[in-house]
Amino acid sequence: MDAPTVPRHEERILRDTRGLFMLWMGRDRFDRREREIAALPRVPWRGRLLYTIRCEGPFGKGPHAVNVPESLLWNLLDLGHFLCPYHR
């Protein structure tokens, strides 16, 4: 299987979100988030690499795994309190 590739606009979004996270949260939290993301399971999907995070939704399917792009992980305040669009 070929290595996952990321479209250029997604590379830009990831670069921007990482930069803003560093600006707003500081170096210590940036380093911690980098470690948290590196520890997440990864799955290839349509030529992209997605990260598996847990949705803490309280109804329907209840807590379940969701695969998301890395840029979303940098936009979240806390990786432990994620809700997917279905549970919002």
The pLDDT tens digits of the residues spanning 14-65 come to 999 999 999 999 999 999 999 999 999 999 998 889 999 999 888 877 789 9
Determine, yes or no, domain membership for 3: no
Determine, yes or no, domain membership for 2: no
Determine, yes or no, domain membership for 53: yes
Distance between CA atoms of residues 18 and 40, nearest Å = 17
Determine, yes or no, domain membership for 61: yes
What is the predicted pLDDT for the residue at 11? 87
3-state secondary structure of 84: coil
For residue 17, which of 72, 77, 80, 81 has the smallest C-alpha distance? 72
pLDDT higher than threshold 90 for residue 67 = yes
Give the pair of three-digit tokens for residue 25.
Answer: 């949260």
Determine, yes or no, domain membership for 1: no
Its pTM stands at 0.82
Distance between CA atoms of residues 58 and 42, nearest Å = 24
CB under 8 Å to 24, separation ≥6 — which residues? none
- What's the number of domains the chain is made of? 1
Determine, yes or no, domain membership for 70: yes
Residue range(s) defining the domain that contains residue 68: 8-87
Give the pair of three-digit tokens for residue 75.
Answer: 């936009």
Determine, yes or no, domain membership for 58: yes
